[in-house]
Structure 1
Amino acid sequence: MTPEMVGHAPGAGVATQPAPQPRVLLRVAHLSKTFVGTRALDDLSLQVGAGEILAVVGQNGSGKSTLVKLLAGIHQPDPGGTIEVGDGSGRLVPARDGRGLHFIHQDLGLLPTLSTTENLDLGRPLGSRWITPARRGEHVRAQRLTARFGAAIDVRAPVALLSPAERAIVAIARAMDGWEHPENVLVLDEPTTAFHRDEVARLFEAVRRVAAAGAGIIFISHRLDEVRALADRVVVLRDGRLVAEAVAGQLDDDSLVRAIVGTAVTDARPAASGSEAVVLEVDDLRGARVDGLSLRLRAGEVVGVSGVLGSGRENVNALLFGSVRRRGGRVRLGGTELAPGDVTSAIEGGAAFVPADRHRLGAVMTMSMRENLTLPALRRLRGRLGGLRLTAERAEARRWVDEVELRPPLADRPLSTFSGGNQQKVVLARWLRTNPRLLLLDEPTQGVDIGAKAAIYRLIQRAAARGTAVLVSSADAKELVSICDRVLLVERGRVVAELEGPALTETALVHAVVRADSVHQSSDRPRPEVAT
């Protein structure tokens, strides 16, 4: 750990002279929480000042979610812990049911079919809201609330039609509505999981405006680049304890990763397999914004697919797997042609698909880890009379609990009760146990912490080492450079460039994506008429 890191555990580093603190709006002291013998949070103390943005980082299971629930009053702390908030007069008073604290969660808590005005009005007594003059006043009020964050939002349109950043701004405006004084604390819990880079910048500008008005901000995220860009200070949680804190501007990735994980995370990029056996042949693939895409994938090769949102990149894997029906083109897996929209033949041919939306498309959250793991291939676990052999299924689950480093290692626990990173490891494991020829991955580490990300990368490496061809579609340039042998750049639904070897760097990939998008935008722009 660098000298700038202030240690809170043995070996955490060298303490430095603390900078002058702003007026404290939130003070957490000796906060602990125990669940049935498990200490989820252990003697945590921290504070947030007026106008300060404090980032809280750590792996899934480090205690971040427990902290949020304690702040919100959902859980009660163990005896001895205190939470105090500012009352607007410079004093700190005991928090009551989250008063003085306001929360923006990952799902934002908005109703997508309602307008911005209606979402802002939820829970407010409005009286004659259906009388036209009153309703017009509500629209004006909603416009004023969202305009404070630099957003020009159509407040009458359904929230579902807004961009991710605009939806987040609506959630912030709702959380801040009715503040009796500006010295409140806003807690943002993983708000950018599904955001594109440009959307993140818009949200951060809105958050800075909240801080500039005198509020305190707690920003919880697993994205270290976002933490460096937004936060004034960073605290690191590991196993329920605060293990380090630092001024954000003095951080480097290596020291922060070591604090989060406890050890260094090495480069996950595998060596190219060198196999010449072609597993996947795609010619002139068309459908769902994909228009004439062709590619070849060899056994043991990890290939990335990059491109801006809307380039078609995000639809390639679903078209190949058959969960989205293609309009044209040919897909051959192991020499056998796959019929359009036929998921069954794709699975029987050795294809496996991990979609970006694991909750809706990747798993059955109400089922246990064991049931999710074995669901895609139950035949091998059936007895002579067709019944499921539970002993064999449990043995299979135990093996994969160890293989994917599941935490906690409880195979019969509902999948919904695991952290996002552990859920994703299970979704990946359910397909890896089929020993697929082709593994299709969409945003494989979206919404997971750095420790789970490293475990997922190891699973991908092992699959490639066994001869599986892996196609990874991701908006994360660093991820693609880290794990892929080569990366295909997609624009307007087709492959326009390929990076590999020494040319495959994060800088080169980002520049290539931006350049391709700029060319696309300029080619779509109407040409000016020339006066004659």
Structure 2
Amino acid sequence: MDTASVPLLRVSGLSKTFPGLKALDDVALEVRSGEIVAVLGHNGSGKSTLVKILAGVHSADPGSVVEVRDAEGRLASGLQAQEELHFIHQDLGLADILNTVENLGLRRTPRGRGLAPVHGAAERRHAQELIARFGAGFDVTVPVGRLSPAQRAIVAIARAMDGWTRPDNVLVLDEPTTALHGDEVQLLLEAVRRVAASGAGVVFISHRLDEVLQLADRVVVLRDGRVVAEESTDRLDHDAVVALIAGEAVADLSATRQAPSGQPVLEVAGISGEEIENLSLTLRAGEIVGIGGILGSGRESLGPMLFGAAHRSGGRVEVAGEELVAGDTMAAIEAGIAYVPADRRRGGAVMGMSVRENLTLPAMRPLRRAFGRLDTRSERAETRAWTATVGLRPADPERRLQLFSGGNQQKVVLAKWLRVRPRVLLLDEPTQGVDVGAKAAIYELILAACSQGTAVLLCSSDTKELVTLCDRVLVLMDGRVVSEVPRAELTEARLVRDELDLRAAADAVRGDAEGGERGARQHSSQG
């Protein structure tokens, strides 16, 4: 048998019906050895259901076929097929308190050790060899909770591939880059390329379309549970992929933006702290100012510092002319500052609470009656109004937030702060891990807030996002503003060029400094 002609994964006639909903309808998909296939679509398009069927969490409707090539080169189905599929989910499924060696050991039972932790030299060498396959090298005895997000993702890939008896298995990655930025993303993408180059087939699910275009050979687009497009990536660009997913051309939000003319509402003078050094900026009412820069430039630290959630060692922050006390989040909220963090699950919302409870949490006082009693009728009415405004799906305010898709969760996190009509809205990666439909809705909410006078500081690693929304962008390097790009000059190419040029210049300066130090040490030793 010519196994090269047999796909590693073949899905045909795949359907899944839930009560009142057909989540998948006659889906077909093939993945071959060495191929990376991206599966794209809105939240609710059927991607998650597809992954859960492949993983055996859900059973498909009768007549559906899922087949995977076995060791003899034949297509197998059922439990035998599932053994050839390996998964990395968005939360990675790692035990943070265990190190890399121990996390790898969770997939197997060490002989003769019972429940004792795995610490032998052979196990450590094995772990080091696995992560080295992906161009990574780090201490495998450090708890994975202390590793960088990219290193954690590589541990998850290594664990998924540990024990493969042959290279041509299938690896399914579901939103693996959601918590990554910049250089970390590139490290993970290179690891995935190495997996495919070894002969594996890869199914890659991501909302980050630029990553998809970099990585994938083909895209399969789902809409309402059906495959609506299948194209080679060399025939597509970003807007073409968005149009396939959304079913329509992308609106140019920037075309209707008017130049802001409001008064300064946020003035920052010479602040310093972790990753920030002597930074100053001014933000006017109705203005969107972007903050760009490579990973470690200080971009990630600015929002928490201004909100009082991170230490500020010096400088002044004023809101509407009133100085803000450093490190006091309640004072920031009372002054009219709202903050949407990059990690909504850890810092943006209480996932176990309902949508209603999350929406009203920042400002309960207006909903209180005499003696502090909560006016539940007003609370429900206000919640219904906001869920309609943000287009929450499903529109169930009593449902726990953790049961919604990432895009709908982010809409709620944004709405809870827009509800208090802030003077200043600090946004950190506001569309991270959401689909293009939710992204467009979030952009419209941001622009609507600006039209009512809210000033927005948008910290983002997404250059397209900065270009789409911002009136000007400040580029950071080593915690300082080193470039300001006005609206008239704002393009993705300009931002990328500034970031790369600045990084190269900084690396050169560091290299010269290190060379000077080495020369001085050599001269001193010779003397």
> Could you tell me the TM-score, scaled by structure 2's length?
0.93
The DSSP-based 3-state class of the residue aligned with 2:153 is: helix
Match of 1:74 among 31, 47, 57: 57
State the distance in 1 between where 2:489 and 2:262 align.
22
Match of 1:123 among 94, 107, 115: 107
Matched residue type, 2:103: N
Report deviation, 1:461. 0.4
Report deviation, 1:346. 1.5
- 1:404 matched to which residue of 2? 390
- 1:185 matched to which residue of 2? 170
- 2:504 matched to which residue of 1? 518
- 2:304 matched to which residue of 1? 318
The DSSP-based 3-state class of the residue aligned with 1:304 is: strand
Gap regions ≥5 residues in structure 2? none
State the distance in 2 between where 1:477 and 1:191 align.
20
Gap regions ≥5 residues in structure 1? 1-20
State the distance in 2 between where 1:362 and 1:132 align.
35
CA contact (8 A) 1:26 1:84 kept: yes
Given the alignment of the two structures, is residue 284 of structure 1 paired with residue 270 of structure 2, yes or no?
yes
Distance 1:22 1:57, change over 3 A: farther
CA contact (8 A) 2:463 2:492 kept: yes
Report deviation, 1:133. 12
- 2:261 matched to which residue of 1? 275
State the distance in 2 between where 1:206 and 1:331 align.
42
CA deviation vs aligned residue, 1:303-352 (integer Å, no higher than 9, x gap)? 00111222222111111111223212111111111111222222122111
- 1:297 matched to which residue of 2? 283
CA contact (8 A) 2:182 2:295 kept: no
CA contact (8 A) 1:128 1:134 kept: no
Report deviation, 1:163. 3.5
Given the alignment of the two structures, is residue 60 of structure 1 paired with residue 43 of structure 2, yes or no?
yes
CA contact (8 A) 1:305 1:313 kept: yes
Report deviation, 1:208. 2.2
- 2:139 matched to which residue of 1? 154
Report deviation, 1:388. 1.4
Match of 2:9 among 23, 26, 32: 26
State the distance in 1 between where 2:418 and 2:481 align.
28
Given the alignment of the two structures, is residue 527 of structure 1 paired with residue 510 of structure 2, yes or no?
no
Report deviation, 1:437. 0.8
The DSSP-based 3-state class of the residue aligned with 1:155 is: coil
Given the alignment of the two structures, is residue 263 of structure 1 paired with residue 248 of structure 2, yes or no?
yes
State the distance in 1 between where 2:36 and 2:25 align.
23
Return 458-467 or 201-210, whichever deviates more. Answer: 201-210
Report deviation, 1:438. 0.6
- 1:465 matched to which residue of 2? 451
- 1:231 matched to which residue of 2? 216
Distance 1:132 1:87, change over 3 A: closer
Report deviation, 1:212. 2.4
Distance 1:182 1:272, change over 3 A: same
- 1:211 matched to which residue of 2? 196
State the distance in 2 between where 1:184 and 1:373 align.
45
State the distance in 2 between where 1:22 and 1:64 align.
26
State the distance in 1 between where 2:421 and 2:366 align.
13
State the distance in 1 between where 2:178 and 2:48 align.
15
Distance 1:220 1:290, change over 3 A: same
Report deviation, 1:271. 2.0
Given the alignment of the two structures, is residue 105 of structure 1 paired with residue 89 of structure 2, yes or no?
yes
- 2:369 matched to which residue of 1? 383
Q: Percent identity?
A: 58
The alignment of Structure 1 onto Structure 2 pairs a total of residues equal to 512
Distance 1:150 1:309, change over 3 A: closer
Report deviation, 1:109. 1.6
The DSSP-based 3-state class of the residue aligned with 2:369 is: coil
State the distance in 1 between where 2:373 and 2:451 align.
34
- 1:421 matched to which residue of 2? 407
Tell me which stretches of 4 or more aligned residues in structure 1 moved more than 6 Å.
Answer: 130-134
State the distance in 2 between where 1:280 and 1:486 align.
15
Distance 1:337 1:180, change over 3 A: same
CA deviation vs aligned residue, 1:227-259 (integer Å, no higher than 9, x gap)? 111111110011211111111111122332111
Return 382-391 or 414-423, whichever deviates more. Answer: 382-391
Distance 1:493 1:197, change over 3 A: closer
Q: Which has the higher helix share?
A: 2
- 1:371 matched to which residue of 2? 357
State the distance in 2 between where 1:191 and 1:220 align.
8
Matched residue type, 1:513: E
Report deviation, 1:482. 0.9
CA contact (8 A) 1:273 1:465 kept: no
CA contact (8 A) 2:262 2:453 kept: no
- 1:330 matched to which residue of 2? 316
CA deviation vs aligned residue, 1:275-310 (integer Å, no higher than 9, x gap)? 141111111112222111111111100000111222
- 1:247 matched to which residue of 2? 232
Report deviation, 1:22. 4.5
CA contact (8 A) 1:257 1:265 kept: yes
Given the alignment of the two structures, is residue 486 of structure 1 paired with residue 477 of structure 2, yes or no?
no
State the distance in 2 between where 1:210 and 1:284 align.
47
Distance 1:128 1:447, change over 3 A: same
State the distance in 2 between where 1:222 and 1:96 align.
30
> Could you tell me the TM-score, scaled by structure 1's length?
0.92
RMSD of aligned residue pairs (Cα, Å) = 2.1
State the distance in 1 between where 2:414 and 2:117 align.
53
Report deviation, 1:157. 2.8
The DSSP-based 3-state class of the residue aligned with 1:193 is: coil
State the distance in 1 between where 2:49 and 2:206 align.
14
State the distance in 2 between where 1:145 and 1:496 align.
40
The DSSP-based 3-state class of the residue aligned with 2:481 is: strand
Given the alignment of the two structures, is residue 114 of structure 1 paired with residue 121 of structure 2, yes or no?
no
Given the alignment of the two structures, is residue 172 of structure 1 paired with residue 160 of structure 2, yes or no?
no
State the distance in 2 between where 1:40 and 1:413 align.
20
The DSSP-based 3-state class of the residue aligned with 1:327 is: strand
State the distance in 1 between where 2:165 and 2:15 align.
30
CA contact (8 A) 1:356 1:442 kept: yes
The DSSP-based 3-state class of the residue aligned with 2:8 is: strand
CA contact (8 A) 2:105 2:118 kept: no
The DSSP-based 3-state class of the residue aligned with 2:421 is: coil
CA contact (8 A) 1:305 1:471 kept: yes
State the distance in 1 between where 2:134 and 2:445 align.
42
CA contact (8 A) 1:22 1:50 kept: no
Report deviation, 1:401. 1.3
State the distance in 1 between where 2:396 and 2:377 align.
16
Return 144-153 or 46-55, whichever deviates more. Answer: 144-153
